[in-house]
Amino acid sequence: MIDKTAYIHPSAIVEEGAVIGAGVHIGPFCYVGSQVEIGEGTELKSHVVLNGVTKIGRDNRIFQFVSIGEINQDLKYAGEPTRVEVGDRNNIRESVTIHRGTVQGGSLTKVGSDNLLMVNAHIAHDCVIGNRCILANNATLGGHVKIDDFAIIGGMTAVHQFCIIGAHVMVGGCSGVAQDVPPFVIAQGNHATPFGINIEGLKRRGFEKADLHAIRNAYKLLYRSGKTLEEAQPEIAAIAAEFPKVKPFSDFFSRSTRGIIR
């Protein structure tokens, strides 16, 4: 179904069965598969490929040579009807690739809303990206990676499969992330190690001075006190009980499956 207000360039191919919302703009030489749904106001610049069971939200800008919903690179994939979902108001720049999920990973690759995916970023099968994240040029995510809200992944950075990147994290460019990164942390290097708290980012997002101080104290307990994770956890939990903004940091340890960066 194609809304009568949608614009489709004569050179574009839109397969029968695709759902195209109001005000959608599909530029030259794009391909939209039969199981694709595009929300209203979304723009495909040119040479964009949307394939598979793919749902795109509203008011996204998708630039040339982007590929979303294509067959993933997992050798176990056998053509199952897995999916990609993309939220609203994302800027998806040139040559970004977002692959469909696998049955083993929950069948879904998901990108939230208000994200900036810069040139040539890659989001592999079964990744889950939150809201208001930035993946800089050539950032590469292995399969099953989870990135929480407001995280920034620097250019030329690779994230190992199954890693979790917490909210408000900043990972510096040219890094290799092989373990989970707790919320609020600045990480850098290959392999990435912690370099303090993302104070400037948190200030921009309205964190109060008392909360920043509490987050810094939790960080010091984990990384500078000389205590083991098991020893530091109860003290960090006590800080989180008094300062709820610290709770994502405290709760992260139970989410971590690959161990945290040290």
Catalytic residue numbers read 125-126, 143
Angstrom CA distances, 240 to 88, 219, 232, 234, 254, stand at 32, 12, 12, 10, 14
**Phi and psi torsions of 103, nearest 5°:** -60, -40
Helix 247-255 vs helix 229-242: crossing angle, to nearest 10 = 140
Query: Helix (H, G, I), strand (E, B), or coil: what is residue 248?
Result: helix
Return the residue matching tokens 């990108």: 111
Residue pair 195/213 in contact by the 8 Å Cβ criterion? no
* Pair of tokens at residue 257: 């499956």
The CA-based angle 43-19-42, given to 5 degrees, is 15
What single DSSP character describes residue 189? Answer: E
Residue pair 116/135 in contact by the 8 Å Cβ criterion? yes
Sign of CA dihedral 206, 208, 209, 211: negative
Amino acid at the residue 2: I
* Pair of tokens at residue 19: 């759902």
Alpha helices (H) along 87-186: none
